[in-house]
Amino acid sequence: MRTGYYTHPDCRLHEMGMHHPECPQRLAAIDDQLIASGLDWVLQRPGDIPLASEQAMQLAHSALHVAELREKGQVEDGYAWIDPDTLMNPHTWQAIRRAAGAAIAATDAVLDGVLDNAFCAVRPPGHHAMRAQAMGFCFINNVAVAARHALDVRGLSRVAIVDFDVHHGNGTEDIFSGDERVLMTSFFQHPFYPFSGTEHPAANMLNVPLPAYTGGARVREVVQNQWLPRLRGFEPQMLFISAGFDAHRDDDLGQMGLVEADYAWITRVLHEFAAQCCGGRIVSCLEGGYNLGALGRSAAAHIRVLVGVDA
């Protein structure tokens, strides 16, 4: 498999203060594990990651939201506060544009046949970013921008978004709710931040709330018995993954019980589905995952399957 690995130093310059869990070291943890596992040499790294234009980000967000982020991002030192957990430093606006740009570039490379699939190791994450609101460590919804690019710019008719973060992807749901071109499937711990996803979701949303301490066996049942039938019936032309690894049992920001083997299994099922349905076209973007060791190992397990060297 030709698997792209999209990341950029700008994504490490965004930080939200000492001891904040969404930290630059998250990307270093993934890189370190890829080197240790021997995966680094089989990945294709593009020479340049473009900055997303404001017009591109407006595919998924209001013009006012994008403009407000640009203005708040002009802070010269210290932080601009979005909410109690979400801050911008002088480098955040650049990182936001680089993360969204990576997702768009990966989408183009996969659609053009340059790559079979891609993983975007970028931050800030995105799946809590709503059409007109930043929240939950997220400013611009990278997966939503990429999916809209595939639909509105590249001309696809149907795409699917799969979200396996421990938190409900409320931003992605807000952007795509009722859009018949998009099917979103997810599981998430509930009740839990952002306390959404259970109140009358639109027909194109398959939300599966799970209680705290749910383990891999139950999650595999959800994927096999609920996700796959809906995905097969929808027949997407491309698959996007919001890859959060904070449902890992070692991650203190959630209380679920997944392990690396579960992430590999989920990815294998999605990889096989994509091969059968949409030419193997997958773009996966990093979301959560805050225990650095668990994040590195889980992301490597996910990428190993995308590369096709899964044991």
In tens, the pLDDT along 1-52 reads 899 999 999 999 999 999 999 999 999 999 999 999 999 999 999 988 999 9
- DSSP structure class, residue 40: G
Helices 92-111 and 63-72: crossing angle, nearest 10°?
A: 130
Distance between CA atoms of 279 and 15, rounded to whole angstroms?
37
Backbone Cα Rg of the chain? 17
How does pLDDT run across 42-78, given as a tens digit for each residue?
999 998 899 999 999 999 999 999 999 999 999 989 9
User: How far is C-alpha 8 from the geometric centre of its chain's CA atoms?
Assistant: 16
Examine the pLDDT at 171 and tell me if it is beyond 60.
yes
Residue 1 confidence (pLDDT): 82
How does pLDDT run across 97-112, given as a tens digit for each residue?
999 999 999 999 999 9
* Average pLDDT over every residue of 178-199: 98
What average pLDDT does the chain have?
97
How does pLDDT run across 140-167, given as a tens digit for each residue?
999 999 999 999 999 999 999 999 999 9
* Average pLDDT over every residue of 185-209: 97
For residue 168, count CB atoms less than 10 angstroms from its CB and return exposed for 0-12, middle for 13-18, buried for 19 or more.
buried
- DSSP structure class, residue 198: -
Examine the pLDDT at 311 and tell me if it is beyond 60.
no
Residue 309 confidence (pLDDT): 86
Count the domains in the chain.
1
> By three-state DSSP, how is residue 245 classified?
coil
Examine the pLDDT at 310 and tell me if it is beyond 80.
no
* Average pLDDT over every residue of 241-265: 98
**Are the C-beta atoms of 140 and 62 separated by less than 8 Å?**
no
Residue 47 confidence (pLDDT): 84
Domain that includes residue 169, residue range: 3-307
Residue 100 confidence (pLDDT): 98
Share of the chain above pLDDT 70, in %: 100
Residue 199 confidence (pLDDT): 93
- CATH code, domain carrying 173: 3.40.800.20
Encoding tokens for residue 29?
């943890």
Residue 105 confidence (pLDDT): 98
